[in-house]
Chain A
Amino acid sequence: MKNSKYLPLMATFVVFVLAYIICISVFPNMLSTRVAGNLLTDNAFLGITAVGMTFVILSGGIDLSVGSVIAFTGVFLSVILRDTSIHPLVAFVMVLALTTAFGAAMGGVIFFLDMPPFIVTLAGMFLARGISYLLTTDSVPITHPFYSTLQDIYFVMPGGGRLTLIAIVMLVVFAVGIILAQRTRFGTYVYALGGNLTSAQLMGVPVAKTTIGIYALSGFLAGLSGIVFSLYTSAGYSLAAVGVELDAIAAVVIGGTLLTGGYGFVAGTFLGICIQGLIQTYIVFDGTLSSWWTKIVIGLLLFGFIALQRGLMWMSERSARNMRHASAAQPSNA
């Protein structure tokens, strides 16, 4: 009973372990740091933006703009690095400032105009994608030597696997995200907004600041994810990262976060990313399966998790009711 809020997280963990066991029993080679390293590297950009998405969904919102923001970041960086002599680090700061401000602006619209996050971030999605097209419609390669330097940073894990810089960035983002959610006032405010907006307001939660902060954080992490994506692909392309927002939402939900907000963990999202990564890896190892199987399995998993959450809510509602009736029956009938 007490741990019912951990139940979806535990379910995710069980699914992850099962998936891993299945993978290893079919392809024993998958049990290696090499595979683990690649999995983290391939999903680094998705994981980073999924951390931001976790905060948004915990607060009861949604951010559909992140895929477009990732594409915009890549295009912005590639154009800047091609046309000017600005150092990539400076360009990183510029683009992060832009995407953070973009997220904050969406949060402001959501709060002050009292608009549904779905609509506001849908507008943001079109806007960011449109601006990317405006910058360039071509895929622009990034050839700056600093990029090669960054791409060559990695740790060799025991067993020969490489923990690349972008994988490390993702792990750090998850660690910071966990602390932010569990150990700061901002984190508690995020849960509070997702729990009950009216109560949160009456209890003195700074709703405006928190809402803007949440979408600014999501914008910042989408920008960071875009930088990582540009390091991963060495290019900027306005058609890139289409649908990544949906993959991120899927990872968050499979990670056990309630879509209506208030319940969930950043750590769960990490497991959600790993499960998605495992499925992709399995398909690569198999070699005969179409890559669309990833989508099919993810779809089935999503259905499963939504059903699980619904079931858990029914169960807790019923036990709450029974508890009330039990306590109501005792004294009044005595």
Chain B
Amino acid sequence: MANAQPLLSVRGVSKAFLGVSALENVDFTLQAGEVHALLGENGAGKSTLIKIITGAYRRDEGEVLLEGTPIYPRDVVDAQKLGIGTVYQEVNLLTNLTVAENLFLGRQPKRFGLTDVREMNRRSRAILDTYGLHIDVTAPLANFSVAIQQVVAIARAVDISGKVLVLDEPTASLDAHEVEMLFAVVRQLRARGMGIIFISHFLDQVYEIADTITVLRNGRLIDTVPVAGLDRLKLVSMMLGRQLESDIKRTIDPDTPKSEPLVSLRGLGKRGNVDPLDLDIRQGEVVGIAGLLGSGRTETAQLVFGIERADSGTISVAGTPVAMTSPRKAIAQGFAFCPEDRKTDGIVGDLSVRENIIFALQAQRGWMRPLSRSEQEALADRYISALDIRTSDREKPIKFLSGGNQQKVLLARWLATNPRFLILDEPTRGIDVGAHAEIIRLIIDLCERGMALLVISSELGELVGYSSRIIVLRDRKMVSELTGDEISTDHIMKAIASHGATGEAA
């Protein structure tokens, strides 16, 4: 921080959406020749901050200074012209155009009023040569791997902007070898004196490439610290927020005889998605999945429910191997799945509470055997009272209910199918405290009635509270399985922060 003038300086920036604060009084300073990692879980405000810097959003308060001058980028293109370029995880280039056209779109060299293709190709080759990339620039971009497309995107951003480069999860779909190639480029740009903001969920990569780390949580700045000497456990606790109160645990009788597992995963995995893992889930058991965002939690649940097809391993249900190729097959086995994003993957906003509740059951019965209106109403009323769903009327469109009540309707939908095995992905995200407690009570209640549950949650305290066992995922691998007394937020955070032989660029 000794430099007289930072390259980019964000001071006291706030942003709210419809009165809900997404970013509060955040400071962020980027030096030239620095790789600065921006970390935080979902809802921490990372993407809001990035969108303010890159002009996608306008700030409500505070100021953004580029080389000491306040900037007010109108949009992404404007920010690019000012010197701030962005490369997204989903490479935002045009795969149907050639590499050279992608590099020069909108600023093609001209000769006699027409595009000078030869000159454009020559310059493209010169640009990519500086990155050590020797490819056919006249070939369509679609012919190249995502890693090469990333480098082309970076080359374009640097060539246009040249001061600040924002890399938004650039490594999310790359393998270890490709990450190395990308990092070589990033190091080169750092040596050239560019300021690079690096966003990633992979802590190993952050430690490898970043000089400085800024952690956000719930829209607030937690701290900005140099990477050198930063303890991993401290970093993870900064990101997740340590609960100060001691963990409240459900007492589980350790003498309960171990029944046969209901669901048994053996070497289940999908390349580039989740590494093969083994897991048994018994009746009357809640298995928790912990891990940072992007660690493979949701992907694991999707494999079990047949949304994604595994390319290795087997799933057995009550001892019988099952080919889990589609959610229909999973439902036929008595599985149920409440997805993470209830707004897009769960509720049908314009349909009533009743209609939303009967969906899964009706799908299971098939369209030939419709539920009668009175059956539907009885079912809906039963669950509305059983789960204490607060709605004035069972015919009210579900979009008018609060988040917690929508979540309960989703639970009701699956409970109506009378499942043996229930998967919940972030069941308590974005709901109020009261509903939160009720959903946790419901999870424990279902478990005690003999259902098997697999619950994914970022709220470690809550996970510790109800899980009989917890598995911890890191970088798409299962790194730990905690049972009995080992179940505590401390142990989970240590497992997330650990970097054993499996870590680093494998």
Residue A188 CB within 8 A of the other chain: yes
With contacts A195-B94, A202-B92 taken as known, whether A331 is within 8 angstroms of B176 at the C-beta atoms is yes
Q: Given the complex of chains A and B, what is the CA–CA distance between A2 and B175 in angstroms?
A: 24
Name the B residues within 8 Å of A204 (CB-CB). 77, 80, 105-106
Known: A188-B97, A330-B177, A331-B176. A203 touches B143 (CB 8 A): no
Known: A179-B114, A188-B105, A327-B145. A2 touches B136 (CB 8 A): yes
Do residues A192 and B108 form an inter-chain contact, with CB atoms below 8 A? no
Smallest beta-carbon distance B111→chain A, Å: 10
Cα separation A194 to B96 with both chains bound (whole Å): 9
Q: Which residues of B contact A203 (CB under 8 A)?
A: 92-94, 102, 105-106, 156
A262 is contacted by which of B77, B96, B506 (Cβ under 8 Å)? B96
What A residues does B101 contact at CB under 8 A?
Answer: 188, 191
Task: Let me know if A324 and B146 touch, CB within 8 A.
Answer: yes
Whether the Cβ atoms of B108 and A328 lie closer than 8 Å is: no
Q: Min CB distance, B201 to chain A, in Å?
A: 18
B128 to chain A, nearest CB (A): 17
CA–CA, A330 and B178, complex, Å: 11
Whether, in the assembled complex, A288 has its beta carbon less than 8 Å from a beta carbon of chain B, the answer is no
Q: What A residues does B95 contact at CB under 8 A?
A: 195-196
* A184 and B115 within 8 A (CB): yes
8 Å CB interface, A293-334 against B: 316, 320, 323-325, 327-332
Given contacts A2-B143, A185-B115, contact A198 B105 (CB under 8 A): no
Residues of A within 8 A of B106 (CB): 185, 203-205
B143–A199 touching, CB < 8 Å: no
Over the window 67-88 of chain B, the binary record of Cβ atoms lying under 8 Å from chain A Cβ atoms (1 yes, 0 no) is 0000000001100100000000
- Write the A215-230 contact mask toward B (1 if CB under 8 angstroms, else 0): 0000000000000000
One digit per residue, 1 when the CB lies within 8 angstroms of any chain B CB and 0 when it does not, for chain A 160-183 equals: 000000000000000000010011
Shortest beta-carbon distance, B393 to chain A, in Å? Answer: 34
A144 at the interface (CB under 8 A from B): no
Whether the pair A316, B142 counts as a contact (CB closer than 8 A) is yes
CA distance in complex: A110, B117 (Å): 31
Name the distance in Å between B29's Cβ and chain A's nearest Cβ: 26
CA distance A203 to B146 in the complex (A): 18
Asked if B134 CB lies within 8 Å of chain A CBs, one says: no
Supply 13 further A-B pairs (C-beta < 8 A) apart from A188-B105, A196-B96, A203-B102: A2-B140, A183-B114, A185-B106, A191-B96, A203-B92, A205-B106, A262-B96, A316-B142, A324-B146, A327-B145, A327-B178, A330-B177, A332-B177
Which A residues contact B (CB, under 8 angstroms)? Answer: 1-2, 4-5, 179, 182-185, 187-189, 191-192, 194-196, 198-200, 202-205, 262-263, 316, 320, 323-325, 327-332
Query: Could you tell me which B residues sit within 8 Å of A by CB distance?
Result: 76-77, 80, 92-97, 101-102, 105-106, 108, 114-115, 117, 136, 139-140, 142-143, 145-146, 156, 175-178, 271-272, 506
